[in-house]
């Protein structure tokens, strides 16, 4: 069985009948909505606020990984005087 990573679940039929209400609910409750098809997750709806938070988290992780990679090359650095640049 597939894991459902959402605080709210709805069926495809419910989404088809009232998409605006589902979008508003996701935004108002600030939770992901899992759309189920035959009791399996077929997709998710998230609020713009949640999407922004997810993208920020991904960007932070990428920056952290780059910083860690650069730290490993710190021993190769050398001092230079300003007029040498």
pLDDT single digits (tens) 3-51 = 899 989 999 999 999 999 999 999 999 999 999 999 999 999 999 999 9
The domain ranges of the chain are 8-74
Q: Phi/psi at 20 (nearest 5 deg)?
A: -65, -40
What pLDDT shows up at residue 38? 94
Contact at 8 Å (CB) between 26 and 35?
Answer: no
- What fold characterizes domain 8-74? YefM-like fold (3.40.1620)
Q: Could you report how far apart the first and last alpha carbons of the chain are, in Å?
A: 60
Please indicate whether residue 1 or residue 11 has the higher confidence score (pLDDT).
11
What's the pLDDT at 1? 60
Q: Which has more confidence, 71 or 21? A: 21
Query: What pTM does this model have?
Result: 0.71
Burial group, residue 34, by CB count within 10 angstroms (0-12, 13-18, 19+) = buried
């Amino acid at each position: 069985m597939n894991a459902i990573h959402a605080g709210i679940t709805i069926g495809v039929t419910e989404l088809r009948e009232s998409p605006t209400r589902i979008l508003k609910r996701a935004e108002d409750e600030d939770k992901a909505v899992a759309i189920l098809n035959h009791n399996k997750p077929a997709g998710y709806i998230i609020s713009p606020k949640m999407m922004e938070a997810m993208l920020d988290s991904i960007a932070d992780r990428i920056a952290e990984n780059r910083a860690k990679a650069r730290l490993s090359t710190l021993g190769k650095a050398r001092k230079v005087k300003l007029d040498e640049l």
